[in-house]
Amino acid sequence: MEKTLIRQNAQWNGKMFDHLCPRDIMDNLLKKKTMRHVQILTGVRRCGKSTVFKLLINDLLQSGVSGKSILVLNLDDPQFIPFWDDSSKLFSVIENAERLTGEKVKYLFLDEVQVVEGWELYIRRIYDTLNVGIFVTGSSAKLLSSEIATSLRGRTISFEIFPFSFAEYLKARDIQINLNSSKSLSFIKNALASYVVDGGFAETIHEDSFISRKILSDYLELIVFKDIAERHNIANTALLKHLNKYCFTNISTLLSFTKLYNEFKSQGFKLSKDTIFNYMAYLEDAYALFTVPIYRNSIKEEQRNPKKIYAIDNGFKKIYDYAITEDMGKLYENVVFLHLRRQTKEVYYFKQNQEVDFYAKLDDKAVLVNVSYEIKDEKTRKRELDGLLEAMEYFHQDTAYLITKDEDSVVEMDGKKVYIVPLYKYLIEGGVK
């Protein structure tokens, strides 16, 4: 255990962590770092939660905090397996660390905490008995659940971590953002072409297509077997992997559980509709996928309609789909979804006579967005604009967005404005008018 603690706590030597990509979420985290709350960071595996820990530790070191008073425990490490079924054993780990460093622990960072049974009770005891700043990460959306908040008596602040946004992706590639410079704009557009296909996982950014696909495939295997099959005791991993493939090759499309059930059954899988429902819930809990409901005033009505599925990262699609360039419209839509989802959980699609890709509630503002890779065809252009106009009238909105590859213009209809914006510009500028 001593060797594990020393290996996991490089900050004990007082040195800063280097070669870290900055993350946009740090501004919010640093504002709240001194609050007497357990700070919970959730997100898909390999999205950068541990990097955020290191950035936080760097800030603590810069402010004069002793590195020896900071304890990091990666609980997913095999050395911690004996602790997984009894969180109370972790108190001895703190004692061991204090014995090794000769200092009291003032800041506790727990990585992948969901592997420990009863972790929330352990944290509550630490919170109640020790004057320690507590930071927690996990690869499960359940860490944000109301049950966790209740067990910790509302003493939590939660943040979601995603793979790189496009702005973060540009920073990681040292591309300057200047939309008024033709040279900068050329680099940005080339980067977008890669980002849309390859996604925003940090370890794939500087790799070629073959290596990138291999890395992403390994990530997905880890999610499927570690975060889903192992955690939920799933024996039928073949069905789970088949469902994975179906979802990631059909991002930005409507999902019918009945259709999916019939299709899998015809392929010889033994399953029930509940099995598909549960497996989808597990994929969502692991942050691999998101399902987006139709917007209705009634929850029952929302549940009666099919949901749309989106991936945590565009790169997961290319694991299965080699003809990916044929789906640029779906890839664009997935990127826009992630852009909105980073800002709010209240993301829907809307449909009356026409379908609108996204209705999102951002703070006190509603946002309507359609996504179409190309709108040169007049019928396509009219369909996208008519759908937005119908939605604007329904929601009493004066503005909406149509995201495309190239066009940058404003269309006025009946006193309402539709901003037609290239994807790169929308992602960089935020797109809220």
Residues in contact with 181: Cβ distance below 8 Å, sequence separation at least 6, in sequence order: none
d(CA 188, CA 176): 8
Question: Across the chain, what does the average pLDDT equal?
Answer: 91
pLDDT at 433 (0 to 100): 46
User: Measuring CA to CA, how many Å separate 176 from each of 114, 184, 186, 429?
Assistant: 38, 6, 11, 14
Q: Per-residue pLDDT averaged across 135-155, rounded? A: 74
Residues in contact with 420: Cβ distance below 8 Å, sequence separation at least 6, in sequence order: 375, 401, 402, 404, 407, 408, 409, 410, 411
Burial (CB < 10 A; 0-12, 13-18, 19+), residue 425, is: middle
The segment(s) of the chain belonging to CATH 3.40.50.300 are: 2-160
We find that the CATH architecture of domain 2-160 is 3-Layer(aba) Sandwich (3.40)
Whether 355 contacts 254, CB under 8 Å: no
Q: How far apart are the first and last CA of the chain?
A: 54
d(CA 374, CA 314): 19
Q: Is the model's pLDDT at 147 over the cut of 60?
A: no
Q: With bands split at pLDDT 50, 70 and 90, how would you rate the model's confidence at 326?
A: low
* Degrees to nearest 5, angle at CA 379 with 373 and 383: 75
Please tell me whether the overall predicted TM-score, pTM, comes out greater than 0.85 for this model: yes
pLDDT at 410 (0 to 100): 97
Q: What is the pLDDT of residues 340-374, one digit of tens each?
A: 999 999 999 999 999 999 999 988 789 999 999 99
Q: Is the model's pLDDT at 139 over the cut of 60?
A: yes
The stretches of 16-102 forming alpha helices (DSSP H) are 26-31, 49-62, 90-101
